[in-house]
Chain A
Amino acid sequence: MINLVWLVPFLPLLGFLINGLGRRYLSKSQVSITGSGVILAAFAVSVLIFLDVRQPGFQAQEVPLFDFISAGTLQIPFAFRVDQLSALFLLIITGVGSLIHIYSATYMHDESKEGFARYFAYLNLFVFSMLILVLGANYVMMFIGWEGVGLCSYLLIGFWFKNTAFNNAAKKAFIMNRIGDLGFLLGIFFMIMQFGSVSFPEVFEKAAALGLNNGTVAAIALLLFVGAMGKSAQIPLYTWLPDAMAGPTPVSALIHAATMVTAGIYMVARSNVLYTLVPHIQSVVAIIGLATALLAASIALKQNDIKKVLAYSTVSQLGYMFLALGVGAYTAAVFHVMTHAFFKALLFLGSGSVIHAMGGEQDIRKMGGLKKYLPTTHWTFLVGCLAISGIPGLSGFFSKDEILAHTFAHSKVLYVLGLLGALMTAFYMFRLYYITFCGKFRGTHEQEHHLHESSAAMTLPLVILAILSIVGGYIGLPEVLGAPHWLAAYLSPVFAPSAPFAEAHHLQHSTEWMLMGLSTVLVIVFILLARRQYVRYEDSGRENTGLAKVLENKWYVDELYDAVIVKPLGMLSRFFQDALEKGGIDRLVNGIGRGVQWGSQQARRVQSGQVGFYIFAMVIGIIVLFVIGLLL
């Protein structure tokens, strides 16, 4: 089965080609069947691969397709690497991906026929790129997928390209990703220069040979992390992700919550050897992750756009994953990627269902009381909120608790801050839940009349994701509960090479129980606080003041970036255009043209049309030639 791994990315590519080329000729149902069908087929193949990979003692396999780059001693094959980590990501991407494709078929049904096919073509291309990213057997292959998902993200954020604001959001996402990509690319170049190879095992082996705290490895790890910052929306490159909500909601669920933004986490987890070798860089990862988690969570407290809240929540959860990577808890990070994919896709799709029912309204102040109109959406959304808040028994609890426990073992300060972020998460998620689903309906009568539960094709993915959000955590039960941590055992071959360099932290079981109890109690307290404040929410229409206003305006980071980077850059560009382009280059080029014209005006006087003069000139010329001939 492993040899058929090329089918997994090939099927979405096929879907992309069919939908992209046949967009004029295929009907909407044909497009959605092709688009979702290929992903489902890829999911089936992924499951078969996973069944092979999960056997104990499975060795990572490389499946080469062809030679991609071969220059001198540098060999870069176009090869897929099937191991525990990539097989798990295959399942997440194609599994969540196919649910979202099915959901999209209904959600996007109001699009024109061509727009509908274009949407599915982009979505298939995205899945293809994402699969290349996680399957690549070397950093260059990973980079190909990395750029591909960036492109698809741009295309899908700007899917409604007639809206200038959406286009600007798409450009912002693309440019910010580009900054990160430069870091990634420099990291790859550095790697080629130092190790002469980009293949994972070779690079890790050579890096490990250099020993702990080597400057070269530190530089590579840091540059790769810059790439991860861009793709996974970490400080300082996170501002594109909230704006990326301009895209259709299923896109936000698939690309900007479940899969693409976790590419950075995948990359760091894949390069775990490099990061474990340089603890300082690892601390940088942890601190940036934690700072992002806190900043984004604080912004989410005061946002009023349903998708913006979820977007900041995503940024914050990604910060948690980086915190986990930074404290060396690679399994916990991957675990959280998986559970987060379930519940965040669920929340996004739920918000899509709400937006659909509200006729495009995204402001939660104009919602309220949707509980009775959208029963299925309501309970699935509630499950998502409980899971992300970390209520015991749901998936989010296990992964988040694992991250926090590892953080506690690493550093108490980081733990306290991380717990604070988790509490904010519980608060803003339930603020969102109560304002949206409880209280009285605050929209117009027309909207109220129009309210309806979405069709089965949209609620079915919600129900499946809700079930996954509940049970997804049981593959990684903490040790204290006496059950084996299946995921840790499964992933251990991937993280084994870095194990000798890692510091071992061990928590007492009593400490772990205490941490679990503490976070659970505090989370419930914060949920109750949110309930007291927002369950009977009325839109007072008052302007926020003080800190609330700062939070509502996202700490003014966008304004800061605008003033510090965008405006000066714009001024510099204008200077270059006016002074250098027009004043320098244009004038030089035009000057040459004018000089030639003037010179020929002078020279044409020689051609007077007088035959006598011509002959005279000829004779003079002959004499000159004679003289030259005689002299030489």
Chain B
Amino acid sequence: MPVQYYIFLSIALFCIGVMGVLMRRNAIIIFMCIELMLNAVNLLLVAFSKMWADAGRVDAAAAQIFVFFIMVVAAAEVAVGLAIIVMVYRNTHSVDINILNRLKN
């Protein structure tokens, strides 16, 4: 399969993620959209890695190391982020980010 397909797919996933973050008000959905963006990038990395490996580059697998890094960071982020969301819910009984504007002033 040509690498363009992967690129289009990952652009589509990334844009869905961005739009989700911008449009949605539910904190958990925004969170999921962020994960979507991260995974779009992961997909792209794997695709390019495969592409260069086919072209005969010996160090092409290095890109896949990044994917693992991103997954680790994402996992850590999920741990922190969900904890924050839980705390926010406990305090406000809502996960709507529009009411989280109290930092103003």
Query: Could you list which residues of chain A lie within 8 angstroms of chain B, going by C-beta atoms?
Result: 607-612, 615-616, 619
Contact = CB atoms under 8 A, between A and B. Distances in A.
A610 B102 CA distance: 9
B101 interface: yes
B101 A607 contact: no
Contacts of A607: 104
Given A616-B22, A619-B18, A611 B101 contact: yes
Interface in B63-105: 97-98, 100-105
B21 interface: yes
A611 B101 CA distance: 7
A609 B22 contact: no
Contacts of A615: 21-22
Interface of A, secondary structure class, is helix
Given A611-B101, A616-B22, A619-B22, 13 more contacts: A607-B104, A608-B104, A609-B103, A609-B105, A610-B98, A610-B101, A611-B100, A612-B25, A612-B97, A612-B98, A615-B21, A615-B22, A619-B18
Given A615-B22, A619-B18, A619-B22, A609 B102 contact: yes
A610 B99 CA distance: 8
Interface string B38-81: 00000000000000000000000000000000000000000000
A334 to B, nearest CB: 83
Interface in B6-41: 18, 21-22, 25
Nearest to B24: A612
Contacts of B104: 607-609
A608 B101 contact: yes
10 contacts: A608-B101, A609-B104, A610-B98, A610-B101, A611-B97, A611-B98, A611-B100, A611-B101, A612-B98, A619-B22
Nearest to A622: B18
Contacts of B101: 608-611
Interface residues of B, number: 12
Contacts of A612: 22, 25, 97-98
Interface of B, secondary structure class, is loop
Contacts of B25: 612
Contacts of B98: 610-612
Nearest to B25: A612
Nearest to B103: A609
A619 B19 CA distance: 10
Nearest to B23: A612
Closest 8 CB pairs of A and B: A609-B104, A609-B101, A611-B97, A616-B22, A615-B21, A610-B101, A609-B103, A619-B18
A621 to B, nearest CB: 13
A630 to B, nearest CB: 15
Contacts of A610: 98, 101
B5 to A, nearest CB: 22
A615 B97 CA distance: 12
B9 to A, nearest CB: 20
Nearest to B97: A611
A612 B26 CA distance: 11
Contacts of B103: 609
Contacts of A609: 101-105
B19 to A, nearest CB: 10
B103 to A, nearest CB: 6
A536 to B, nearest CB: 94
A615 B103 CA distance: 16
Nearest to A607: B104
A611 B102 CA distance: 11
Contacts of A616: 22
A581 B53 CA distance: 77
Nearest to B19: A619
A457 B97 CA distance: 96
A616 B18 CA distance: 9
Nearest to B102: A609
Nearest to A610: B101
B20 to A, nearest CB: 11
A616 B25 CA distance: 13
A619 B23 CA distance: 13
A395 B104 CA distance: 93
A407 B43 CA distance: 114
B40 to A, nearest CB: 15
A615 B25 CA distance: 12
A611 to B, nearest CB: 5
Contacts of B22: 612, 615-616, 619
A179 B25 CA distance: 79
A616 to B, nearest CB: 5
Contacts of A611: 97-98, 100-101
A612 B24 CA distance: 9
B36 to A, nearest CB: 14
A126 B94 CA distance: 86
A611 B96 CA distance: 11
A609 B100 CA distance: 8
A620 to B, nearest CB: 10
A619 B20 CA distance: 12
B31 to A, nearest CB: 12
Contacts of B97: 611-612
A382 B31 CA distance: 111
